[in-house]
Amino acid sequence: MGFFTFIKVMMILFNLVIFLSGGTLLGVGIWVTVDEQSFLDIFGMLSSSVFQVVYVSYFLIAIGAVLLVIGFLGCYGAQKDSKCLLMMFFSVVLIIFIAEIAAAVVVLVYTGFAETLLTAVVTPVLKEKYGEDDGFTHIWNVTMKEVHCCGLNNYTDFTDSPWYQQHGTYPLPCCDDELPCTGALAAEKNVTGCFDQILAEIKTNTGVVGGVAAGIAALEIAAMAVSMYLYCQLDQK
């Protein structure tokens, strides 16, 4: 087996794994969207404490679709010696790589701007939907309980929300689960906002986050290098 053939086989196998992983994530995402209750029944407490912190179904569908496309382009392009598909694979991975670099720069340099932007977008939604939209309220309750935080910035994010208008109190996590969670008690407890708490957790685990990010970046660079190698070798055939 020549070097070209070896690289080609590795490219096919690697992207086949990516394709199957994407299909699995996409399938699970669609399952959660269509039949959420069955998903919750099967995964029990794990699903309620972790998977509902975000809109997991949409996240899985998006990631699964991207992996499905990347896996197909790389696997089929290498198997069929298609220069067009290999170039498309290279372009998609390059775009994702650049987007990740840009996101990292924004997080590192414009953290304050991100906080301001999130405050402008999320806070009005909290005041409008918390206590009125059951799904939205449940997601925020789970998030605050698991992350040990209150609102996006602090307890005042819930002032004038449907929950506050109905009960005259703030969510329990804003008072370390002490009743009644009044404004005075919430101010005394001064529970950290979820944005600052999540940011602190990320900084605490900088090594792990950096290692994972470096590993993903290395895989992307390797995938681009291999696809470009195959592309150039096909030119010489």
CB-based contact 189:176 (threshold 8 Å): yes
Q: What pLDDT is stored for residue 232 in this prediction?
A: 85
Asked if pLDDT for residue 45 goes beyond 50, the answer is: no
Q: Residue 51 pLDDT more than 60?
A: no
Short-list 200, 154, 199, CA closest to 181: 154
How sure is the predictor about 233, in pLDDT bands with cuts at 50, 70 and 90? Answer: confident
Instruction: Kindly report which listed range (12-16, 108-112, 210-214) carries the lowest average pLDDT score.
Output: 108-112
Predicted local confidence at residue 42, as pLDDT: 54
How far apart, in whole angstroms, are the C-alpha atoms of residue 75 and residue 85? 9
Q: Is the peptide bond before 180 cis (omega within 30 degrees of 0)?
A: yes
- The per-residue pLDDT for range 156-194, each reduced to its tens digit, is 888 888 998 888 889 988 998 888 898 889 888 888 888
**DSSP code string of the chain:** --HHHHHHHHHHHHHHHHHHHHHHHHHHHHHHHH-HHHHHHHHHHHIIIIITTTTHHHHHHHHHHHHHHHHHHHHHHHHTT-HHHHHHHHHHHHHHHHHHHHHHHHHHH-HHHHHHHHHHHHHHHHHHHTTTSHHHHHHHHHHHHHHT--SSSSGGGGTTSHHHHHHSS--GGGGTT-SS--HHHHHHH-PPPHHHHHHHHHHHTHHHHHHHHHHHHHHHHHHHHHHHHHHHHHHH-
Domains observed in the chain: 3-111+205-236 (no CATH), 130-199 (1.10.1450)
Q: Output Rg (C-alpha) for the chain, integer angstroms.
A: 23
Where residue 54 falls among pLDDT bands split at 50, 70, 90? very low
